[in-house]
Amino acid sequence: NLAWQGRATSLSATLRTMLELGNCYLQIAKIHRIQGTRPFSLSAAARAILGLGGWGDDGGKKQLTLQDVAKLIRKKECRRIVVMAGAGISTPSGIPDFRSPGSGLYSNLEQYDIPYPEAIFELTYFFVNPKPFFTLAKELYPGNYRPNYAHYFLRLLHDKGLLLRLYTQNIDGLERAAGIPPDRMVEAHGTFATATCTVCRRKFPGEDFRGDVMADKVPHCRVCTGIVKPDIVFFGEELPQRFFLHLTDFPMADLLFVIGTSLEVEPFASLAGAVRSSVPRVLINRDLVGPFAWQQRYNDIAQLGDVVGGVKKLVELLDWNEEMQALIQKEKEKVGKK
Ligand SMILES: [Zn+2]
């Protein structure tokens, strides 16, 4: 059934976009465009001929390895770590892959006959028909999914006082569920943990509306009866104020981790270029992406392949295996008690 498939593709593509909400940020990206990025790449050979340096060859400086980074962390020579995370850290938790029609969420959204997929994240459509958005909210409301090894690694960084800030593109709240305090995070695309009345702008804990969302009811403000919208950033909406913490966080960072993100969404993506040039950048991702692909620095490290596998390798090098196991066990028991 070709017609259906076509629709499936466009709906799923948008659902994916939704998770790495992006287009609305392009304007801001232009303003905050990080200096020095170039939208083209030179081959390693060309770079060598032109004397530009490249991977492993930057003014004779030795190329860093993951092992070197582990040493720097263990010796506390890096202790203001900034992490950028994307959908790739949530896939192992079973967050639905919207690209494959047939997922429960996909078929639930199918029933609403959405005019075009982007509409789910547009305020004008939301006020006409908020139900598709709340179908998604029901799926992603805190509690349905559990954090995985990658989330707990970030939690351990925090526990050790090494995490300056975690910038996440994810709206599944698994970083919070892993116990990372909200003030250590910038949830660039918003969160279901809080909600705002669309009329009187009163703020509420997202938890207040769990009952409504789970019962497929659109939540209303108890003061003014306006529709209450979880604080997910819609197209055309401003980024959370906290996003601008990057102006101080990135220049202060002494190590950058980029984990499970394709670095395609602006202005998030450009942040990777905002750390000082002497700062090691570690990519843990399925593919080589962003500046790691086209503007490598001698101190860039790419650990490619399975994201959890990459994080485990780093944990191994850090000799944090036991602590990781203890933390995961402790968190599992907490969930068990609930
Ligand atoms: Zn209200």
Q: Measured between alpha carbons, how far is 106 from 95 in angstroms, rounded to an integer?
A: 12
167 near 265, Cβ under 8 Å? no
Of 23-37, 53-67, 118-132, 277-291, minimum mean pLDDT range: 23-37
57 labelled as ligand-binding? no
Residue 189 is among the residues annotated as catalytic for this protein: yes
Ligand 1 centroid to Cα of residue 227, in Å, is 7
Q: Considering 32, 151, 158, 189, which one is annotated as catalytic?
A: 189
262 labelled as ligand-binding? yes
pTM above 0.85, yes or no: no
pLDDT in tens, 174-202: 999 999 999 999 999 999 999 999 999 99
24 labelled as ligand-binding? no
For 139, which DSSP code? H
91 labelled as ligand-binding? yes
Q: Measured between alpha carbons, how far is 151 from 295 in angstroms, rounded to an integer?
A: 28
pLDDT averaged over the chain? 83
Average pLDDT over residues 277-302: 94
User: What is the pLDDT, as a whole number, of residue 103?
Assistant: 66
Token pair of 131 as six digits = 């139900």
Q: Measured between alpha carbons, how far is 89 from 267 in angstroms, rounded to an integer?
A: 19
User: What is the pLDDT, as a whole number, of residue 190?
Assistant: 94
Ligand 1 centroid to Cα of residue 223, in Å, is 5
pLDDT in tens, 161-177: 999 999 999 999 999 99
Residue with the two structure tokens 């997202």: 206
Q: Which residues neighbour ligand 1 (ion) by CB within 5 Å?
A: 197, 199-200, 202, 221, 223-224, 226
CA 189 to chain centre: 8
pLDDT in tens, 203-246: 999 999 999 999 999 999 999 999 999 999 998 898 999 999 99
CB-side exposure of 198: number of CA atoms within 13 Å?
Answer: 17
Ligand 1 centroid to Cα of residue 200, in Å, is 4
**Within a 10 A sphere around the Cβ of 272, how many other Cβ atoms?**
25
Ligand 1 centroid to Cα of residue 134, in Å, is 18
* 306: three-class secondary structure by DSSP: coil
The answer, yes or no, to whether residue 47 has pLDDT greater than 50, is: no
Ligand 1 centroid to Cα of residue 202, in Å, is 6
Ligand 1 centroid to Cα of residue 131, in Å, is 19
pLDDT in tens, 92-129: 998 875 545 666 676 777 788 888 777 888 999 999 99
Question: Percent of the chain having pLDDT more than 90?
Answer: 64
**Within a 10 A sphere around the Cβ of 291, how many other Cβ atoms?**
22
78 labelled as ligand-binding? no
Q: Measured between alpha carbons, how far is 327 from 118 in angstroms, rounded to an integer?
A: 39
5 labelled as ligand-binding? no
